[in-house]
Amino acid sequence: MTASLASRPSDAEYAPYYGRYITRVPEGDLVRTLESQLAETLALLRGIPEARGGHRYAEGKWSLKEVVGHLIDSERIFAYRALRIGRGDATPLPGFEQDDYVRGAAFDRIPLADLAAELEAVRRATIYLLRGMDDAALARRGTASGFEVTVRALAFIIAGHERHHVGIIRERYL
C-alpha cells in the first residue's frame, strides 16, 4: 500500500459534492477497504432472489438491478478518470448523466447474478489499477466534470459511492 491510500484526501482534492462519499470511507488502507467492500457487497447481492431484482421502492426510482448497474458504470468512469489523470493526461474529462446511462443500459434484462459478477470484475480491475500507482500518480491532479480532483480522491470516491448505494439497497430495497 502506498502512503497516499492510507489517509483520507483533503477537501482541496475534490469538488464539495463528493465529500458526501469520501466521509463514508473508514480510516485505514483504502485497497483493503475496497477488497472488503467487494466481499460484503457480493454476499449481499448473491443473497437476493432474482425475482427481487426488478423491485423499485417508489415510482420513478431505479430498480435494484439498475442500482447495481449504476455502481458498475460509475466505478468504471471514476477508475477511467483515475487512469487518465494518474498517467499524466491533462485533458479535462467530461461529466456523465447517470440517469441517461441507466436508461441506455437495460440493466433489468440482465440476471442479478451476472450484474454481481460484472461488479466483481470491475472492482478487481480497479484494485489492480490503484495498487499499481505510486504516491506521485495518486497525487496527480486533473479536471473531471469541471472540477479539479486527485487520483487519490477518485479512489476514495469509488469506495464511498459504493457504501452510499449499498446503504440505500439495504434500507429501501430489501
Q: Which parts of the chain sit beneath pLDDT 50? A: none
The CA distance from 89 to 98, in Å, is 24
* pLDDT value of position 2: 74
Q: What are phi and psi of 143, to 5 degrees?
A: -115, 130
CB contact burial 136-149 (16+ within 10 A = b; e otherwise): ebbbbebebeeeeb
Contact present, 157 and 14 (Cβ < 8 Å): yes
The confidence score (pLDDT) of residue 1 equals: 54
Contact, 75 vs 83, CB < 8 A?
no
Residue located via cell numbers 473531471: 144
Contact partners, residue 46, CB within 8 Å, separation at least 6: 113, 116
Q: In the chain, what are the domains?
A: 3-7+13-51+68-173 (1.20.120.450)
Q: Cell numbers 434500507 correspond to what residue?
A: 171
Kindly report, residue by residue over 45-81, the tens digit of the pLDDT. Answer: 999 999 999 999 999 999 999 999 999 999 999 999 9
Angle at 154 between CA 149 and CA 156, to 5 degrees: 125
